[in-house]
Amino acid sequence: MQRSPLAPESAPNLPPLAGVQIGTMNSGVRYKGRDDVMVMAFDPGSVMAGVVTKSKTRSAPVEHCVDALAAGGDARALVVNSGNANAFTGRAGDVVVQETIKTAADVFGCSLMAVYVSSTGVIGEPMPQDAIPKSVRALGPKLQPGGWEKAAAAIMTTDTFVKVATETAKIGGVDVRLNGIVKGSGMIAPDMATMLGYICTDADIPQPILQTLLTRAVDKTFNCITVDSDTSTSDTVLLAATAKVGNAKPENANDPSLKDFKRALLAICMDLSQQVVRDGEGASKFIAVRVTGATSPGAAKRIGLSIANSPLVKTAIAGEDANWGRIVMAVGKSGEKAERDLLRILIGGTEITANGMVVEGYDEAPVAAHMKGQEIDIEVDIGLGRGKATVWTCDLTHGYIEINADYRS
Amino acid sequence: MQRSPLAPESAPNLPPLAGVQIGTMNSGVRYKGRDDVMVMAFDPGSVMAGVVTKSKTRSAPVEHCVDALAAGGDARALVVNSGNANAFTGRAGDVVVQETIKTAADVFGCSLMAVYVSSTGVIGEPMPQDAIPKSVRALGPKLQPGGWEKAAAAIMTTDTFVKVATETAKIGGVDVRLNGIVKGSGMIAPDMATMLGYICTDADIPQPILQTLLTRAVDKTFNCITVDSDTSTSDTVLLAATAKVGNAKPENANDPSLKDFKRALLAICMDLSQQVVRDGEGASKFIAVRVTGATSPGAAKRIGLSIANSPLVKTAIAGEDANWGRIVMAVGKSGEKAERDLLRILIGGTEITANGMVVEGYDEAPVAAHMKGQEIDIEVDIGLGRGKATVWTCDLTHGYIEINADYRS
């Protein structure tokens, strides 16, 4: 698979993060000649926050993560495989998850509920019973402090580039770091976390606060991206905090000491989530849709997603066609309040419509030039209220169909 | 544009229908060398029922149809053009509609509210001010009893074949006929009528009853089809009754004398709506998705549409890949109640899953053979209740992207 033309030119080097050790290998589940399982171990005292798919047919690993988070969010190990989603695999799939967490609990000397598991790949194919537990046992003694890029590579499926990000922040004068990896390029739609993403920090933040911070950040990042409007059965974003730096514990999610950490968490979530869009299956253009003037922030997001998910809008952009009439259509079908004569549409900063029709003397030349670029900006002002939101997507090209018409074989 | 491989082998010949006269010509709005405007005149005493798009950015012609229906549904004329949707064209677009209905009212000696107007084509481009009114005046004296196929051809945009249908029925022992035409192949999604469709009958049915019958039929036909999940600003289905045959007037929508007429109306709506799917942009396969066992009929329809609108399901079918895991995904993302261990999935009549996993000894050979055909049947039993619904769609192919990445030029 060719590297996406929208991929960042280079990836940052991720330094080791105190309290986290990593190992990868080939498990034999599906892919040959590459690592397909990743294990992270967290030092005692680490906690986990998480957000998972809203799908009603979510996978066995996701069900376990929900249970583990509900049990208090202690974190000692994370096991992720690619190649098989272990979704819709019945009781046999549940057994694989149980065997995996039992093995990890034994290897790392922790409770079952301190182990987190994810699987990504084909839905509905039986998982080999032993491959993942055996890999956990094999990797256990070999984990090392670094290796984030290897971990990001091991969890890839149709991804065309490795997705990592790192940020630093201060909590009460103490330096903390966030490292993150993510995978995803198809079956991406915003309804709780929309891919597999793992972020770790060495900060000391109690689990309930960590959960609140993650949920807020995901809502503005991972939940604002869409590639194809399809929601995975496996999507999970986890945030582990190892408490290895001596910052003063924040008292609640609104503690002023967390201001800079929140900025860094939002930045790393934004970076990782936009990398997923940049690797959207077949993507040739990265599209930002900014909606203002909606009756509420939720309405703005729904209008933005209606535009971002419209196959007609996405194919027009693929064709570099400034067919703004399709944006009007997508606003209309969103179900949210809109009035023709108040709607303003701008592409690449050029105003196209106002007062319910094309602006006087509209010159398509600058818009046509903008459409030829790789970064497309669409702005829609509904003109009714103060609700605003930005969502990100990619265009719909022949590449998407090529990738998805023959994924299993 | 090549004729869709899913087009019916031949179209029926539509006989004239008492009380309806038809004319077509080239208006100069956009297309050269083909008719692009169609006028139908109805004898005095005719009534109209209608269903229109739920879009919040609906076009000026749609707004007028809503007003005319609300004014009582008298019907004397229908004017439809292709090439320009007169949508999002501001007050200038409203003026075109006003001039069109004034001209038709003058030509046919009727009230403004007995004239119906539709426009289909590009959104947002200004309509020439005079082209349609001039065409109405030119066609007025030349209308003829037949010409249904020409009418169907004049309203086509990206359609690759002419779509007509005819049915007969008895009302209280009296023979009545229904003739219908429809256009549509993209921007098709079920949220009230999803294309332009015009059906006429010579039966004598009071307008409020006609409206009820049409709404019910559309709900099971035009509102159960989807090509790309996009909802047009222009969609309209109208049903005119000319009262030319001497059937006894039914007293209400549940009058037993209407039983056979309802069957025929459902049949013609089904025929026309499925023709639209068969001409879905780029379609190579016609897909029926039958959902049973949902908690309600509405839930069944929403699950069906979640499957039918999933780009991943549609591309898998385009690739003749029996990737049933994507059907599981689409059930999961519908938001409707589902339980993994109760879900049954059949493709082409072959049971694939039961009890939350693939069936013992599942043989993909017959399913793979079915996937190679042009007519794909998907059945999903949710196993929770009695709600059922069937929806129809087509696959998502390179053809869809070819057509839509460069539609305006």
Cα–Cα distance list, A247 to A107, A229, A386 (Å): 30, 40, 38
Is the CB of residue B356 less than 8 Å from the CB of residue A88? yes
* Residue A189: predicted pLDDT: 46
Q: Find where tokens 């959207």 sit.
A: A280
Q: How far apart are CA A51 and CA A241, in angstroms?
A: 15
Q: How far apart are CA B121 and CA A325, in angstroms?
A: 10
Nearest to A315 among B310, B356, B405 (CB): B405
SS3 content of chain A, % helix, strand, coil (to 5): 35, 25, 40
- Helix, strand, or coil (residue B401): helix
Is the CB of residue B225 less than 8 Å from the CB of residue B274? yes
The structure tokens listed for B142 are 């030349």
Phi, psi of B171 (to 5 degrees): -120, 110
Whether the pLDDT of residue A190 is over 50: the answer is no
> A142-145: long-range contacts (C-beta < 8 A, 24 or more apart)?
A142/A23, A143/A21, A143/A22, A143/A23, A143/A39, A143/A40, A143/A41, A144/A21, A144/A22, A144/A23, A145/A16, A145/A17, A145/A20, A145/A21, A145/A22
- Residue A10 CB burial class (10 angstroms; 0-12, 13-18, ≥19): exposed
Q: Where are the alpha helices (DSSP H) in B288-347?
A: 297-308, 311-318, 325-333
* Residue A193: predicted pLDDT: 30
CATH class of A20-278: alpha beta
Which ipTM value was assigned to this complex? 0.73
* Residue B193: predicted pLDDT: 30
To the nearest whole Å, the CA of B93 is away from the closest chain A CA by 9
Whether the pLDDT of residue A187 is over 60: the answer is no
A320-355 pLDDT per residue, tens: 988 888 898 889 888 899 888 899 999 999 999 988
Around Cβ A370, how many Cβ atoms within 10 Å?
18
To the nearest whole Å, the CA of A55 is away from the closest chain B CA by 5
* Residue B189: predicted pLDDT: 46
Beta bridge partners of A116: A78
Q: How far apart are CA B407 and CA A317, in angstroms?
A: 11
The structure tokens listed for A29 are 């589940």
Query: Does any CB of chain B come closer than 8 Å to the CB of residue A400?
Result: yes
- Helix, strand, or coil (residue A202): coil
- Helix, strand, or coil (residue B203): coil
Averaged pLDDT for residues A380-387: 96
- Helix, strand, or coil (residue B256): helix
List chain B domain ranges: 20-278, 286-404
- Helix, strand, or coil (residue B312): helix
To the nearest whole Å, the CA of B265 is away from the closest chain A CA by 28
Q: Find where tokens 């549609």 sit.
A: B314
Residues in A closer than 8 angstroms to B186, CB to CB, are 312
* Residue A52: predicted pLDDT: 85
Averaged pLDDT for residues A110-139: 93
The structure tokens listed for B348 are 């082409």
Is the CB of residue B301 less than 8 Å from the CB of residue B224? yes
Around Cβ A144, how many Cβ atoms within 10 Å?
10
To the nearest whole Å, the CA of A61 is away from the closest chain B CA by 14
* Residue B332: predicted pLDDT: 85
Q: Whole-prediction pTM value?
A: 0.81
Strand order in the sheet with B77-84: B20-25, B37-42, B77-84, B115-122
Q: What is the mean pLDDT of chain A?
A: 90
The structure tokens listed for B375 are 């007519």
Q: Which of A21, A250, A27, A53 is nearest to A133 (CA)?
A: A27
Whether the pLDDT of residue A110 is over 60: the answer is yes
* Residue B228: predicted pLDDT: 65
Nearest to B329 among A57, A398, A404 (CB): A57
Residue A168 parent element (H or E): strand A163-171
Question: Which one of A194, A231, A233, A353 is the catalytic residue?
Answer: A194
CATH class of A286-404: alpha beta
Q: How far apart are CA B297 and CA A39, in angstroms?
A: 45
Active site residue A226: no
Show which of residues 78-137 on chain B sit within 8 Å of chain A, judged by CB atoms: 85, 87-93, 122-126
* Residue A194: predicted pLDDT: 42
Q: How far apart are CA A183 and CA A194, in angstroms?
A: 10
Averaged pLDDT for residues A29-36: 94
A42-69 pLDDT per residue, tens: 999 999 999 887 777 788 999 999 999 9
Q: How far apart are CA A7 and CA A12, in angstroms?
A: 13
Which chain B residue is nearest to residue A396, measuring alpha carbons?
A: B401
Query: Does any CB of chain B come closer than 8 Å to the CB of residue A323?
Result: yes
Q: How far apart are CA A228 and CA A207, in angstroms?
A: 33
- pLDDT 10s per residue in chain B (409 long)? 678 888 888 889 999 999 999 999 999 999 999 999 999 999 999 999 998 877 777 888 999 999 999 999 999 999 999 999 888 888 889 999 999 999 999 999 999 999 999 998 887 888 999 999 999 999 999 999 999 999 999 999 888 889 999 999 999 999 999 999 988 866 554 432 347 889 999 999 999 999 999 999 998 888 888 776 566 566 788 999 999 998 999 999 999 999 999 999 999 999 988 888 888 888 899 999 999 999 999 999 999 999 998 888 999 999 998 888 889 888 988 889 988 889 999 999 999 998 878 898 899 999 999 999 999 999 999 999 999 999 999 998 888 888 777 645 4
User: Are residues B92 and A58, on separate chains, in Cβ contact within 8 Å?
Assistant: no
Q: Which of A230, A307, A353 to mutate to test the interface with B (most CBs of B within 10 A)?
A: A230
Nearest to B329 among A230, A326, A341 (CB): A230
Q: How far apart are CA B230 and CA A307, in angstroms?
A: 10
Q: How far apart are CA B358 and CA B343, in angstroms?
A: 10
Q: What residues contact residue A254 under an 8 Å CB cut-off, 6+ apart?
A: none
- Helix, strand, or coil (residue A397): coil
* Residue B35: predicted pLDDT: 97
Nearest to B57 among A56, A340, A400 (CB): A340
- B224/A115: higher pLDDT: A115
Q: Which of A147, A120, A130, A159 is nearest to A41 (CA)?
A: A147
Which chain A residue is nearest to residue B397, measuring alpha carbons?
A: A401
Fold match flag (B20-278 vs B286-404): no
B171-197 pLDDT per residue, tens: 999 999 999 998 886 655 443 234 788
Is the CB of residue A405 less than 8 Å from the CB of residue B316? yes
Q: Which of B308, B321, B273 is nearest to B389 (CA)?
A: B308
Q: How far apart are CA A211 and CA A229, in angstroms?
A: 26
Q: Which of B52, B63, B88, B395 to mutate to test the interface with A (most CBs of A within 10 A)?
A: B88
* Residue B300: predicted pLDDT: 95
The structure tokens listed for A302 are 């729904």
* Residue B191: predicted pLDDT: 36
Q: How far apart are CA A224 and CA B395, in angstroms?
A: 27
* Residue A69: predicted pLDDT: 94
